[in-house]
Amino acid sequence: TRTVRIAPSILSADFADFAREIRAIEDQGADWVHVDVMDGHFVPNITFGPPAVKAFRPHVRTVMDVHLMIAPVDPYIDAFAEAGADILTAHVEAGPHIHRTLQAIRAAGMRPGVALNPGTPAEAALPLLDLVDLVLVMTVNPGFGGQAYLDMTGKVRTLRAAIGDREIHLEVDGGIDPGTAPGIVTAGADVLVAGSAVFRGGSVEAPEVYGRNIAAI
Ligand code: DX5
Ligand code: ZN
C-alpha cells in the first residue's frame, strides 16, 4: 500500500498569522506545507514571493512544498533556494526550456517538481520523469483556492503507470476534499494538496478542525 501524504495549502490560511496557521496544521498531522506562489501573469492572482517564503521557513518543521505559478521561473530559482524551499515545482507550461529549469532547481539544492495544468496531457511529463522527484497534476486551473474539482483520474492513472517503481511523488492540487480524494488516490495520487477543505474559509478559531479534515481526507 502507498503512503498518502496531506499537504495543506496556506493559500486558504489567515494571511496575517501564517506562523500560527502552520503550527496548527502541523500539530494536526499535516505531512507537508504547500506554498502557492502566484505572479499575476502566469495565473490571474498574486500571492507572495521569496521574502515571504523565507519568513515561513523557520515555522515549517515538516517539508516546505513550494508550487510556482510564475513565468519565467529561472531568474527566481536561486531566491527560492535561499528562502529555504525543500521542493520547488514549476509548470511545464511556464516556459520553453523545462529541462533547463528542472536541472537548475536540482543544482540549487532543491527537489524538482513539474506541474501540469488540466489542459495539458500526461504525456508532457513523460520525458521529464528522470529529472523530477514529484509530478503535480492540477485538478483545477491554477490561480485560486475553492474552485470546483476537475476529474483528472485518467491522467493520474497514466502517470502512476509511467512512474512505476521510481521514487517520484504524484501530487494532486485543487478541489481535493473527503469526497474527491478517494477516487484520485485509487487512481494513483500519493500527495493531496487541500486548501479550503482544511482551512474552512480561513478560520483559525478551532485548530482541531484541520485535524478532522485531514483525517477525513
Ligand atoms: C490553486 C492552488 C492550490 C489551492 C487549492 O491554484 O495551486 O494549491 O490552494 O485550494 P483548494 O483546495 O481550495 O482547491
Ligand atoms: Zn498549489
Residue 210, pLDDT above cutoff 90: no
Residues 42-84 pLDDT 10s: 999 999 999 999 999 999 999 999 999 999 999 999 999 999 9
156, 189 Cβ separation under 8 angstroms: yes
Residues 103-144 pLDDT 10s: 999 999 999 999 999 999 999 999 999 999 999 999 999 999
User: What region, left, alpha or beta, does residue 93 occupy, with left being phi > 0 and alpha being psi -120 to 50 degrees?
Assistant: alpha
Nearest Cα residue to 83 out of 67, 66, 98: 66
Pairwise CA distance, residues 37 & 159, whole Å: 25
Q: What is the pLDDT of residue 204?
A: 41
Q: Among 139, 193, 199, 210, which residue has the most ligand 1 atoms within 8 Å of its CB, making it the best to mutate? A: 193
Residue 160 near ligand 1, beta carbon < 6 Å? no
Pairwise CA distance, residues 67 & 114, whole Å: 9
Gap from CA of 14 to ligand 1 centroid (Å): 15
Which residues are within 8 A (CB) of 15 and not within 5 positions of it... i.e. 6 or more apart? none
User: What region, left, alpha or beta, does residue 174 occupy, with left being phi > 0 and alpha being psi -120 to 50 degrees?
Assistant: left
Residue 152, pLDDT above cutoff 90: yes
Residue 201, pLDDT above cutoff 60: no
Residue 175, φ and ψ in degrees, nearest 5: 70, 20
Residue with the smallest CA separation from ligand 1 atom 1 is 142
Find out whether 179 is annotated in a ligand binding site: no
Find out whether 211 is annotated in a ligand binding site: no
Q: Taking the CA atoms of 122, 123, 124 and 128 in sequence, report the sign of the dihedral they define.
A: positive
Residue 171 near ligand 1, beta carbon < 6 Å? no
The ipTM (two decimal places) reads 0.98
Pairwise CA distance, residues 176 & 172, whole Å: 8
**Domains along the chain with CATH numbers:** 5-216 (3.20.20.70)
In this prediction the pTM is: 0.95
C-alpha cell of 50? Answer: 521569496
Nearest Cα residue to 172 out of 138, 213, 142, 141: 138
Query: Which atom, in ligand 1's list, is nearest to the CA of 146?
Result: 13
